[in-house]
Structure 1
Amino acid sequence: MALIGNLRERPVRRLSQLYAGLVLYGVSMALMVRSDLGLDPWDVFHQGLSELTGLSFGTVTIGVGALVLLLWIPLRQRPGLGTVSNVVVVGLVVDATLVLLPAGGPLGVRIALLITGIVANGAATALYLGARLGPGPRDGLMTGFVARRPRFSVRLVRTVIEITVLALGWLLGGTVGVGTVAYALAIGPLAQFFIPLVAVPPAKADDTDDESTVTAGDPSRAPATPAG
């Protein structure tokens, strides 16, 4: 699989934005974990696997991301630099942030952590997708499947996948709660708000590879919808 994403245009801006977004994404995940009020479907799954295996949340996130990326091969999806970086950076950052953030606390503090985490997640999604260096592995899995099976909509595929991982994560002990619902309702509008503010426009009208890395995002985390 060849890495997509042409870095000849605005490399410093795009790389800085990519990694700032991925770091912020990891921090936002940790904030929601520490709120203990519910996670997004994939993170419920990650947390459940972490409980089952004894591995850290971040290690599980990296492992699942790598396995999902392997599923791109039969779908003939091409990862970008941002895709591969997403697998590694987000997991490392979420573990480091969890070490720094204490668990528990008053309900008011936990609500603040949840709200901050969701808003930061929307901004992070906009940053890393706006850099046009590739969507996250989970996002690409959904859009790749739709590209191979066009009779299914992205919305339908996303819903089926996320309900599946949410149910599995809940059965494994992941946290489902008000935060899960709040994330589902807020992340699309937040990403749509932030992306126009930070998206790096293509320098050439025919910069199709780069442009596709933005539009390939998961509907829950991307413009019409993004990320990890």
Structure 2
Amino acid sequence: MKKIKLTYSLIGTFFISFAVSFFRLADLGTDPYTTFNLGASGFLDMGFGLFIMISSLIALILIYFDNRALIGIGTLLNIFIVGNFSDLTLSLYNSYFSEPEGLLIRIIFSLLGLFFISSGVALYTEAKEGVAPYDAFPIILTEKANGRWTYRTSRVIIDVSFSIIGYLLGATLGFNTIITAFFIGPFIQFFRKIFEKDLQTRALRYTSEK
């Protein structure tokens, strides 16, 4: 069963890498967390990559003291794979295809990005092998809510808040920023229900075979 969960986590991480690639190809704005990092790094006159490492480290420390169970192999996979695999995917795409032209194809790429990031986060969240620092925030907020609202609402609150902060610090909001801020949460919750049932089925099958 451990191997199945690790597979879920790995596939989810690669899905997020694809999502980042589609968003970058669409060139219609970034996701809320990237928007925040762009705004904050520009405001502080700091390198984008350096600020992401610092913000991720701060987030990891906060998560460790609140719910360290959210930190695991999936956290490391996300940190080391997403950016590098996204760069590789873009490099391969640009080797065989030209940059997407026309608003329609760019919107399609954006929607594909929304699908992959939602299903990817849902996969490694349900695997419970650790999540990315940013993705831990809505989980913690949902736990703090004590049933007053769902994960979907928590995700929208976090995404919209980070988008607004990034904008106030100087980042630009785009189509992708808006759709991810308001729709990632509902889609992640939708996919989590599907993957939760699948994992439960596999767990029962695994138990019966032992």
- Check 1:73–1:112 CA distance in 2 against 1; reply closer, same or farther (3 A cut): same
Structure 2 runs not aligned, ≥5 long: 205-210
Mapped pair 1:69 → 2:69: no
Partner of 1:85: 77
Alpha-carbon separation, structure 1, partners of 2:54 and 2:100: 27
* Structure 1 residue 74, shift from structure 2 partner: 3.5
Residue number among 34, 55, 58 corresponding to 1:43 in the alignment: 34
Matched, 1:97 2:89: yes
The 3 A distance-change label for structure 1 pair 85 and 97 is same
Structure 2 counterpart of 1:187, one-letter code:
I
Q: How many residue pairs are counted as aligned between the two chains?
A: 193
Partner of 1:220: none
Q: Does 1:191 align with 2:188?
A: yes
> C-alpha root-mean-square deviation of aligned residues, in Å?
3.4
**1:170, 1:150 → 2: CA distance?**
30
| 1:93–1:53 distance in 2 versus 1, CA, 3 Å | farther
Q: Which residue of 2 aligns with 1:123?
A: 119
185 and 72 in structure 1: CA distance in 2 versus 1, 3 angstrom threshold: closer
109-118 vs 24-33, which moves further: 24-33
Change (3 A) 1:124 1:162: closer
Deviation string for 1:81-134 (max 9, x for gaps)? Answer: 223332332233233334445566322221111011001111212221222213
Deviation at 1:176, TM superposition (A): 1.1
TM-score by length of 2: 0.70
Pairing 1:30–2:26 present: no
Q: Structure 1: which 5+ residue stretches go unaligned? A: 1-9, 205-228
Q: More helix by proportion, 1 or 2?
A: 2
Amino acid in the other structure paired with 2:88: A
Matched, 1:180 2:159: no
Q: 8 Å contact 1:31–1:117 — kept in the other structure?
A: yes
- 1:61/1:87 contact within 8 Å kept: no
State, as a whole percentage, how many aligned pairs show the same letter.
26
From 136, 141, 164, give the equivalent of 1:140: 136
Distance 2:171 2:58 in 1: 20
Aligned partners of 1:77 and 1:140 also within 8 Å: no
Judged with a 3 Å threshold, the aligned counterparts in structure 2 of structure 1 residues 12 and 74 are, in CA distance, closer, same or farther, namely closer
Aligned to 2:167: 170
TM-score of the superposed pair, with normalisation by structure 1: 0.66
Indicate the residue corresponding to 1:11 in structure 2: 2
